[in-house]
């Protein structure tokens, strides 16, 4: 089975992000990056599928040249090769989906696995857009995937419990947090990853319409939280404060 998996470079979610003074973006100096956690889960699932059924896992990434560090992490996990669309600019979801479609058309995979969202913009749009553009079935927020006889059975968490759906392959599936626990690459795998191929394509050479549908006009920090913490000895005191002081209940 041939699987394409996204591998986006994002700011480390554990660090504090600072917005530039002019609101045009975030401060990039002294910032650390990592592989998008949801993409990491998708890569792990793709590698497990390959280990069980054979095939090839191809990473697909859009980002700057030095994002190859994060791409190599995915290769060390067990992916076979990678395709990088090189650009230093932010690429919004509709443009990313069009780029992904071009690569999918060229590579003709059996399955596309993606993180359900990237933790930098939290858009949660590219997977759904890609499925629509390809006219493929989609299964989003997967917490369990089973592939058999040309079909994928996917379990996904919804408000009322676990929903199980079945889609024909080829399909687009996006990974949720509880799909699996990504592996830590061993030293031999890290060394092997250094020799694996990364095909780099310039953003300007991708050969599709990359016109943005969404433009970010500005960024700003959220307001500082005001107020204080109060401790109440009884439930009646808490209810009274919510009613009389905060005006939250009547």
Encode pLDDT of 148-196 as tens digits.
Answer: 999 999 999 888 899 999 999 999 999 999 999 999 999 999 999 999 9
Domain boundaries in the chain? 2-224
Is pTM beyond 0.75? Reply is yes
In this prediction, residue 47 carries a pLDDT of 97
**Contact call for residues 59 and 83 (beta carbons, < 8 A):** yes
In this prediction, residue 137 carries a pLDDT of 97
**Contact call for residues 174 and 127 (beta carbons, < 8 A):** yes
Intervals of the chain under pLDDT 70 = none
Q: How is residue 88 written in tokens?
A: 């230093």
In this prediction, residue 84 carries a pLDDT of 97
**Contact call for residues 243 and 249 (beta carbons, < 8 A):** yes
CATH placement of domain 2-224: 3.40.50.620
């Amino acid at each position: 089975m041939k699987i394409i998996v996204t591998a986006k470079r994002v700011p480390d979610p554990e660090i504090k992000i600072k917005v530039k003074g002019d609101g045009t973006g975030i401060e990039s100096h002294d910032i650390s990056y990592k592989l998008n956690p949801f993409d990491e889960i998708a890569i792990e699932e793709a590698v497990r599928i390959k280990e069980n059924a054979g095939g090839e896992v191809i990473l697909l990434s859009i980002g700057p040249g030095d994002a190859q560090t994060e791409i190599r992490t995915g290769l060390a996990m067990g992916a076979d090769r990678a395709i990088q669309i090189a650009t230093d600019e932010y690429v919004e979801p509709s443009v990313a989906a069009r780029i992904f479609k071009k690569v999918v058309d060229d590579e003709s995979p059996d399955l596309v696995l993606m993180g359900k969202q990237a933790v930098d913009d939290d858009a949660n749009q590219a997977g759904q857009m890609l499925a629509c553009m390809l006219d493929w079935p989609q299964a989003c927020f997967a917490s369990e995937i089973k592939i058999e006889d040309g079909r994928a059975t996917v379990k996904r968490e919804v408000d009322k419990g676990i929903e199980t759906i079945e889609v024909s392959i080829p399909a687009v599936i996006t990974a949720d947090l509880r799909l699996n626990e990504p592996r830590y690459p061993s030293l031999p795998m890290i060394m092997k990853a250094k020799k694996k191929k990364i095909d780099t394509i310039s953003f300007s050479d991708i050969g599709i319409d990359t016109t943005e549908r969404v433009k970010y006009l500005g960024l700003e920090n959220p307001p500082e939280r005001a107020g204080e913490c109060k401790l109440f000895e009884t439930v009646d005191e808490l209810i009274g404060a919510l009613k009389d002081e905060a005006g939250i209940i009547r």
